[in-house]
């Protein structure tokens, strides 16, 4: 009997390769490819006045040195578009002054790390030798660093953006001024959030193979979106999409930074591979990742809240200033998420949110895990604590009094979410989640313990925070499911994987739908050769989007299998079931046919290519009265389907933490960390809990240790793992988890 | 100008290797790109993250901070040398059982570190296991399941010894 796999903590199928060192990440490919190094700007803001490559030419093993002028020449003679600015990926009405960089700096650099010269050589060592011999002359310009500096606007990042404001947005639901004036109590908070970054253990990387005879390009990239990289490379190189393939190999973490594309290197590496007719590879080193990838989080916030004597929100007025760095290739997704997800599980009363997205001469700011949500949650949860303190009320009780209740679902906030759709919560049971969390942490007992500890002179505190998380962001994902004549099932979906266990969770879904064993299912993600239509992996959307698409495609295959098996078994398809890879008549399992045989029969053959395929050849198949492939049918036991929901779905969670600090050393000990999480039905609880663990660790890092430290000249002072402190095992607490599974 | 080369003789995963390398060739690059043992990963190239950890005569070292020439005459074990998918080392089996990895990029360094640790301390406490892996960075797992994996690996080693 096939065991249902959905909901089971099955071990991951991808791990055998990963733990034996036989999985392939980007830099494990293309061992004989040419190596690339970049000359990057050492200045935050400057004009490039001269580039002298003479001394680089002496380096043995040098293959090519490229500057912006080479890109221009290529566009003029080869029909490429590599000299044009990089694309603005997500336009938005609020983004009135979007600016994007160039693949190689044209005449101005706007942050330390911006690529200026590309060097190609026999290997990376030699490319670096040559790169350090390139002399770039700069005229310095005054840099804009930090939100205060950007707001003051006595200096500008871009000459034609005099106030440094890339985007401005104002949303108001209800009448905030009137509600605020009428509120019996008011508080204001000024908050400041530091910059951090995704910082995956594997940096970015690109490896390109040009096939001159075929006129086609294969690009491997450590990306969160291979389909869109493919489209961007085709557009930049002037190639038909059908002549470009993009593959995301095993990817060593993403957390947002790898959703941005095309990075300069994703344009330049394939471009150089075609020019040189050689394989070319660039692998980012850690310092490059710090100064030339992306950061996130940095905001200044002002909150004014009006509330009643019971702590109920009447008016919430938020203003924040978002540091978007030097360019805005990913639009204003981060501030949009801050302004909408700030509301969490609460009814804010009248709500106004006004924000400015500001240019600074620093690395670009694009989504990092949460993508603006942590900032919004920070503002709201500090506000909740401030209200509780002001009124002397229990902090959990103040939160509970402001919850949206289950009978109010679906709940429309009257705002537009990051997918351009209304911010309508589909589900969630916030009172039940809070109750579970209070039980998990023993809320009253813990508060009493902390009180007692403080009475003894210890510094013990208890923290609480709630959030709602938009997931399953559209527009769509799709899947292709194929049953091979061996009975093995091949699943392909276009979005990518960076460690989330998709190869297992998706296989669980397909195996359940098709009645086959998990080990007979193989899942491929992020390979345009296998599936060409996709959006990408971000915003916790993969399980919702591709998971549903795989279920739908599998059901199509199942329906077809039952139809073909029904003909073979002379049974009504409605009386059939698939168990352990056998299609059989319900109640009389002796009448059965292997799914493998059904796959053979699904493809009428003239030629037998092996023993099993003989069953499908023209003199073996019985009914000669109709066409071998019916009018509405296709050969092969396979199916494709897409999942495209009308709007996002919303998960939620609540965390409680007990922290003790040492009054002498300020050392912080997290005594307990408890999480209640509601993502709906869990596909694989082991994997879900692993995701929660990782999220908490990044939260600990962001709250206590990580900070991008820029000086007034725009130099990143801590661009190494020695100075940018990510948590080790010694900094991350043991995490206790409970789940709620509220259906959408 | 071209670089002078140096002879290196060493044993990697039990196999004798001879090569000529530039003096500046990192051991990590030598293993990955010359010997094509790409299981060893490079996460920071400045010795902090530990992804590139290999065993040099049984002791964990950061292969990005060693030159290939300094490994001359030594015995190197990489993740490929711990075990295969058919015949896993206890730490490899334990990381899979306990979901001790997500993206898997840092994992080879944790596996080599844990393997050496368990030789010295075959029955660690949870605190000792956590301490043992606290020099390696992981951005995915939050370490909880890695700690569990180290403890489970000790258990597997005992189970295998008992049979």
Q: What is the pLDDT of residues A182-196, one digit of tens each?
A: 999 999 999 999 999
Contact: A200, B139; criterion CB under 8 Å: yes
Q: Supply A91's token pair.
A: 């336009």
DSSP A441-466: HTHHHHHHHHHHHHHTT-EEEEEEEE
The reported pLDDT for the residue numbered A1 is: 45
Cβ contacts of A695 on chain B, cutoff 8 Å: 142
Judge whether A271 and A237 are in contact, CB under 8 Å: yes
Cβ contacts of A220 on chain B, cutoff 8 Å: none
Our CA-based measurement puts residue B4 at a distance from the nearest CA of chain A, in whole angstroms, of 13
Kindly tell me the sign of the dihedral angle through the C-alpha atoms of A343, A346, A347, A349: negative
The reported pLDDT for the residue numbered A610 is: 87
Confidence check on the interface: ipTM exceeds 0.90, yes or no: yes
B42, B85, B96: residue with CB nearest A11: B96
Report, as an integer, the average pLDDT of B24-35.
98
Q: Supply A123's token pair.
A: 């290997």
The reported pLDDT for the residue numbered A2 is: 56
The reported pLDDT for the residue numbered B163 is: 65
B137 CB near a chain A CB, below 8 Å? yes
Report, as an integer, the average pLDDT of A8-35.
98
Report, as an integer, the average pLDDT of A695-710.
97
Q: Band the pLDDT of A700: cuts 50, 70, 90.
A: very high
Cβ contacts of A694 on chain B, cutoff 8 Å: 102, 139-142
Q: Band the pLDDT of A622: cuts 50, 70, 90.
A: low
The reported pLDDT for the residue numbered A590 is: 86
Contact: A18, B42; criterion CB under 8 Å: no
The reported pLDDT for the residue numbered A107 is: 95
Q: Which B residues in the span 55-84 are in contact with A, Cβ-Cβ below 8 Å?
A: 78-80, 82-84
B25, B79, B142: residue with CB nearest A20: B79
Residue A27: DSSP 8-state: G
Closest alpha carbon within chain A to B136: A728
Judge whether A23 and A17 are in contact, CB under 8 Å: yes
For A323-334, what is each residue's pLDDT tens digit?
999 999 999 999
* Cis peptide leading into residue A268 (ω within 30°): no
B139 CB near a chain A CB, below 8 Å? yes
DSSP B8-39: EEEEETTEEEEEEEETT-BHHHIIIIIS--TT
Instruction: Tell me the average pLDDT of chain A.
Output: 96
- Is the pLDDT assigned to residue A589 strictly greater than 90? no
Distance CA A480, CA A468 (A): 32
Q: Band the pLDDT of A348: cuts 50, 70, 90.
A: very high
Judge whether A191 and A378 are in contact, CB under 8 Å: yes
Q: Band the pLDDT of A632: cuts 50, 70, 90.
A: confident
- Is the pLDDT assigned to residue A85 strictly greater than 50? yes
The reported pLDDT for the residue numbered A630 is: 85
Distance CA A510, CA A676 (A): 28
Contact: A253, B102; criterion CB under 8 Å: yes
The CA-based angle A627-A630-A635, given to 5 degrees, is: 105
Residue A414: CB atoms within 10 A of its CB come to 12
B113 CB near a chain A CB, below 8 Å? no
Contact: B45, A60; criterion CB under 8 Å: no
The reported pLDDT for the residue numbered B41 is: 98
Q: What percentage of chain A exceeds 90 in pLDDT? A: 94
Judge whether A320 and A302 are in contact, CB under 8 Å: yes
The reported pLDDT for the residue numbered A612 is: 83
Contact: A697, B143; criterion CB under 8 Å: yes
The reported pLDDT for the residue numbered B40 is: 98
The reported pLDDT for the residue numbered A554 is: 98
Kindly tell me the sign of the dihedral angle through the C-alpha atoms of A707, A708, A713, A714: negative
Cβ contacts of A720 on chain B, cutoff 8 Å: 44, 46, 48
Distance CA B121, CA A46 (A): 56
Q: What percentage of chain B exceeds 90 in pLDDT? A: 96
Residue A196: DSSP 8-state: B
Contact: B99, A11; criterion CB under 8 Å: yes
Q: How far is CA B5 from the centre of its chain?
A: 27
Closest alpha carbon within chain A to B41: A202
For A136-172, what is each residue's pLDDT tens digit?
999 999 999 999 999 999 999 999 999 999 999 999 9
Backbone angles phi, psi at A444, to 5 degrees: -65, -40
Q: Could you tell me the CA-to-CA distances from A239 to A53, A216, A251, A397, B12 in Å, in that order?
A: 30, 8, 26, 60, 45
Contact: A12, B146; criterion CB under 8 Å: no
For A635-678, what is each residue's pLDDT tens digit?
999 999 999 999 999 999 999 999 999 989 989 999 999 999 99
Contact: A694, B79; criterion CB under 8 Å: no
The reported pLDDT for the residue numbered A154 is: 96
The reported pLDDT for the residue numbered A615 is: 83
Distance CA A87, CA A83 (A): 11
A205-211/A313-325 β-pairing? unpaired
* Cis peptide leading into residue A645 (ω within 30°): no
Distance CA A706, CA A48 (A): 33
Backbone angles phi, psi at A658, to 5 degrees: -115, 125
Cite the DSSP H helix spans in chain B: 27-29, 79-82, 90-97, 107-120, 126-132, 144-162
Q: What percentage of chain A exceeds 70 in pLDDT? A: 100
Report, as an integer, the average pLDDT of B63-73.
98
3-state secondary structure of A507: helix
Which of B109, B140, B151 is the best substitution to test chain A (most A C-beta atoms within 10 A)?
B140
3-state secondary structure of A394: coil
B1, B80, B105: residue with CB nearest A25: B105
Class of residue A1 by CB neighbours under 10 A (exposed 0-12, middle 13-18, buried 19+): exposed
Q: Supply A635's token pair.
A: 């050969």
């Amino acid at each position: 009997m096939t065991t249902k796999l959905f909901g089971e903590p099955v071990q991951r199928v991808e791990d055998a390769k990963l733990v034996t060192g036989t999985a392939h990440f980007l830099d494990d490919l293309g061992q004989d490819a040419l190596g690339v190094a970049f000359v990057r700007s050492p200045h935050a803001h400057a004009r490039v006045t001269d580039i002298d490559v003479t001394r680089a030419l002496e380096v043995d093993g040098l293959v090519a040195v490229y500057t912006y002028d080479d890109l221009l020449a290529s566009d003029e003679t080869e029909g490429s578009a590599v000299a044009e600015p990089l694309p603005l990926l997500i336009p938005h009405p609020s983004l009135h002054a979007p600016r994007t960089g160039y693949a190689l700096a044209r005449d101005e650099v706007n942050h330390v790390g911006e690529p200026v010269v590309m060097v190609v050589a026999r290997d990376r060592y030699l490319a670096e030798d040559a790169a350090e011999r390139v002399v770039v002359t700069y005229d310095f310009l005054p840099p804009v660093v930090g939100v205060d500096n950007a707001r003051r606007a006595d200096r500008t990042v871009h000459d034609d953006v005099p106030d440094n404001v890339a985007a401005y947005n104002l949303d108001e639901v209800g009448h905030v001024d009137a509600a605020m004036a009428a509120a019996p109590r008011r508080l204001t908070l000024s908050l400041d959030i530091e910059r951090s970054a995704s910082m995956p253990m594997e940096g970015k990387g690109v490896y390109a193979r040009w096939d001159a005879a075929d006129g086609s390009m294969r690009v491997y990239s450590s990306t969160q979106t291979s389909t869109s990289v493919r489209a961007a490379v085709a557009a930049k190189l002037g190639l038909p999409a059908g002549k470009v393939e993009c593959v995301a190999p095993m990817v060593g973490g993403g957390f947002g930074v790898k959703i941005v594309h095309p990075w300069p290197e994703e344009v330049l590496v394939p471009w150089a591979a075609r020019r040189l007719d050689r394989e070319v590879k660039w692998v980012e080193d850690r310092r490059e990742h710090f100064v030339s990838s992306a950061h996130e989080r940095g905001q200044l916030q002002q909150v004014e809240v009006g509330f009643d004597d019971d702590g109920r929100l009447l008016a919430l007025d938020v203003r924040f200033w978002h540091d978007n760095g030097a360019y805005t290739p990913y639009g204003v997704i981060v501030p949009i998420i801050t302004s909408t997800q700030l509301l969490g599980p609460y009814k804010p009363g009248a709500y106004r949110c006004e924000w400015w997205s500001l240019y600074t001469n620093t690395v670009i700011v694009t989504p990092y895990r949460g993508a603006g949500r942590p900032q919004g949650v920070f503002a709201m949860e500090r506000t909740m604590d401030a209200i509780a303190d002001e009124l002397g009320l229990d902090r959990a009780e103040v939160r509970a009094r402001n919850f949206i209740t289950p009978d109010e679902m679906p709940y429309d906030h009257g705002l537009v979410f990051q997918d351009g759709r209304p911010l309508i919560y589909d589900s969630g049971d916030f009172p039940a989640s809070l109750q579970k969390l209070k039980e998990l942490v023993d809320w009253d007992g813990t508060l009493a313990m902390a009180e007692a500890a403080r009475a003894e002179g210890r510094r013990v505190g208890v923290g609480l925070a709630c959030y709602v998380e938009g997931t399953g962001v559209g527009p769509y994902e799709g899947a292709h499911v194929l049953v091979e004549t061996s009975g093995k099932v091949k699943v392909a979906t276009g979005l990518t994987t960076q460690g989330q266990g998709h190869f297992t969770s998706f296989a669980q879904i397909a195996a359940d739908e098709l009645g086959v064993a998990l080990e007979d299912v193989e899942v491929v993600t992020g390979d345009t050769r296998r599936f060409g239509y996709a959006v990408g992996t971000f915003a916790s959307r993969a399980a919702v989007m591709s998971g549903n698409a795989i279920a739908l495609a599998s059901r199509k295959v199942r329906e077809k299998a039952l139809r073909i098996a029904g003909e073979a078994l002379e049974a009504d398809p409605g009386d059939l079931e698939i168990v352990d890879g056998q299609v059989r008549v319900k109640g009389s399992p002796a009448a059965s046919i292997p799914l493998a045989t059904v796959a053979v029969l699904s493809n009428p053959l003239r030629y037998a290519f092996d023993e099993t395929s003989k069953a499908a050849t023209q003199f073996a198949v019985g009914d000669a009265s109709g066409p071998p492939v019916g009018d509405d049918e296709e050969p092969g036991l396979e199916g494709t389907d897409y999942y495209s929901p009308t709007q996002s779905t919303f998960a939620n969670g609540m965390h409680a933490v007990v922290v003790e600090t040492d009054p002498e050393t300020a050392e912080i000990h997290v005594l307990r960390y408890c999480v209640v999480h509601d993502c709906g039905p869990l596909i694989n609880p082991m994997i879900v809990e692993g995701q929660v663990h990782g999220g908490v660790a990044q939260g600990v890092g962001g709250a206590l240790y990580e900070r991008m430290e820029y000086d007034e000249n725009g130099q990143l002072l801590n661009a190494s793992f020695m100075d940018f402190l990510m948590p080790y095992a010694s900094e991350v607490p043991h995490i206790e988890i409970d789940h709620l599974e509220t259906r959408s | 100008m071209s670089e002078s080369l140096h002879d290196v003789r060493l044993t990697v995963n039990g196999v004798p290797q001879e090569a000529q390398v530039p003096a500046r060739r990192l051991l990590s690059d030598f293993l990955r790109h010359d010997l094509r043992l790409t299981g060893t990963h490079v996460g920071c190239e400045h010795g902090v993250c530990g992804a590139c950890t290999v065993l040099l005569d049984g002791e964990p070292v950061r292969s990005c901070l060693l030159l290939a020439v300094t490994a001359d005459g030594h015995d190197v074990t990489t993740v490929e040398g711990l075990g295969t998918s058919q015949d896993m080392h206890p730490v490899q089996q334990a990381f899979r059982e306990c979901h001790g990895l997500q993206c898997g990029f840092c994992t080879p360094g944790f596996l080599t570190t844990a393997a050496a640790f368990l030789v010295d301390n075959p029955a660690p406490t949870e605190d000792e296991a956590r301490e043992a892996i606290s020099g390696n960075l992981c951005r995915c797992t939050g370490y909880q399941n890695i700690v569990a994996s180290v403890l489970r690996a000790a258990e597997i080693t005992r189970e295998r010894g008992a049979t």
